[in-house]
Amino acid sequence: MVGTSPDVRGGISTVVRGYEEGGLSRRFAIRYVTTHCDGTPLEKARSALTGYGRLLRLMFSTDLPLVHIHVASRASFWRKSLVCTLVMLRRRPYLLHVHGAEFSTFYHVECGPLAKRLVRFFLERASRVLALSEQWSRELARIAPRARVRTLPNAVYVRETPRVRDSSVPLRVLFAGRIGARKGTFDLLAAFARIASRFDATLVCAGDGECDALMARAAELGISDRVTCPGWLRGPAMNAEFGRACTFVLPSHAEGLPMALLEAMSHGLPVIATPVGGIPEVIEHGRNGLLVPPGDIDALERALTSVLEAPAERSRLGSAARETIEARFSLRTAIEQLAAIYREFGLEDPCARTSESRAAPCRSCCGPGPS
């Protein structure tokens, strides 16, 4: 498997850590090769070169029946195109697992004719192209009509019991992700400013990006004492924020299938989001969450008001959200889907059994998930 460092902030690293925590690497003895890290341009270049060197050694010292490549757009795609080239030269099959909310923009707007041909070439030469949603499957099929596209949604570990919010804590509206225009963070701030005088509530924006600009804008709106930016959180710290929040809001303008949204729903949080990327395949407006048009601050204000003023509605939406994750987006389900793909290429699966018993993977190699 080839991808970014599991320590990098972002969706791909979260997916990779989930596969590891779910026992995929124990099940298939996966070798993970890092070709990207956070840091200076020199550090990133060193990471890429080290990764290419390790991949070459593996290709010529082991059988390598399959190479699973995680890729996004822009620099990520061009880094991984070299990986694809090395794998093709070794005559090995590869899976291209496409992440990134802006892949369509990258291809249609930012790529010239030659770059588009190269994008199509690497997609169509892949043994499988894995998309995060049916919407992204259709888009990738339009970009590369001969690509063998299959949907593999992102997924999260579902704890046995949902979180119980401490009702004595003031209302907390939670956002998590890269703070900036694409994720709609400033839209959320504007909508929150309109309702701040009506509710004893705090807006928590967990993530990196334009934190200073967000706090400066909060000061201009007179609500800086009601807004906090704790930085990028993960693991127990992020779980603690999910536990304290009363609602999760992700008003993005473009998305793939955001992990933070799935995680919030798995915690039983009512969510407010936008119908972009794969989100409409997860959230049915009014049943397990609320959807508002991207950039529509009036609609976002109304959605926030409806959730904050009605505890019973929060509970109903949150329960339905958790049920959705349990039924369709659990880590266990995703690993079984990926294992089935691996078996198509002859990879030996120690957990292989009848389809009925695979619904409950063995404990010896399929981990119970994060604590």
Residues 344 and 207 in one domain: no
Q: What is the pLDDT of residue 170?
A: 83
Residues 194 and 299 in one domain: yes
Q: Is 366 a domain residue?
A: no
Residues 16 and 99 in one domain: yes
Residues 274 and 254 in one domain: yes
The pLDDT profile of the chain, 371 residues, written as one tens digit per residue, is: 999 999 888 889 999 999 998 999 989 989 999 999 999 999 999 999 999 999 999 988 888 899 999 999 999 999 999 999 999 999 999 999 999 889 999 999 999 999 999 999 999 999 999 999 999 999 999 999 999 999 999 999 987 776 666 666 689 999 999 999 999 999 999 999 999 999 999 999 999 999 999 999 999 999 999 999 999 998 899 999 999 999 999 999 999 999 999 999 999 999 999 999 999 999 999 999 999 999 999 999 999 999 999 999 999 999 999 999 999 999 999 999 999 999 999 998 887 754 444 445 555 455 555 54
Whole-angstrom distance, CA of residue 195 vs CA of residue 308: 10
Q: What is the pLDDT of residue 363?
A: 53
Q: Is 103 a domain residue?
A: yes
The tens digit of pLDDT for each residue in 241-287 reads: 999 999 999 999 999 999 999 999 999 999 999 999 999 999 999 99
Domain holding 30, by residue range, is: 2-156+330-359
Residues 243 and 347 in one domain: no
Residues 223 and 342 in one domain: no
Q: What is the pLDDT of residue 353?
A: 54
Whole-angstrom distance, CA of residue 338 vs CA of residue 342: 6
Q: Is 368 a domain residue?
A: no
Measured CA to CA in angstroms, residue 237 lies from 7, 232, 243, 281 at distances of: 15, 9, 10, 28
Residues 180 and 306 in one domain: yes
Which residue type sits at 317?
L
Opening angle at CA 90, ends 85 and 93, nearest 5: 75
In terms of C-beta distances under 8 Å and separation of at least 24 residues, what long-range contacts does 348-355 make, across chains too?
348/28, 349/27, 349/28, 350/27, 351/27
Residues 175 and 313 in one domain: yes
Domain count, the chain: 2
Q: What is the pLDDT of residue 149?
A: 98
Whole-angstrom distance, CA of residue 256 vs CA of residue 254: 7
Q: What is the pLDDT of residue 29?
A: 87
DSSP codes of every residue in 327-367: HH-BHHHHHHHHHHHHHHTT---TT---TTGGGS--TTTS-
CATH of the domain at 220: 3.40.50.2000
Q: Is 13 a domain residue?
A: yes
Opening angle at CA 7, ends 5 and 12, nearest 5: 60
Residues 322 and 178 in one domain: yes
Q: What is the pLDDT of residue 356?
A: 45
Residues 199 and 124 in one domain: no
Q: Please give the biggest Cα pair distance in the chain.
A: 65
Q: Is 161 a domain residue?
A: no
Whole-angstrom distance, CA of residue 165 vs CA of residue 178: 25
Residues 273 and 344 in one domain: no
Q: Is 166 a domain residue?
A: no
The closest of 176, 182, 177, 157 to 105, measured between CA atoms, is 182
The tens digit of pLDDT for each residue in 86-124 reads: 999 999 999 999 998 899 999 999 999 999 999 999 999
Q: What is the pLDDT of residue 63?
A: 85
Q: Is 183 a domain residue?
A: yes
Q: What is the pLDDT of residue 354?
A: 44
The structure's pTM equals: 0.90
Opening angle at CA 205, ends 324 and 330, nearest 5: 20
Residues 312 and 178 in one domain: yes
Q: What is the pLDDT of residue 9?
A: 86
Q: Is 96 a domain residue?
A: yes
List of residues 6+ apart from 235 with CB closer than 8 A = 370
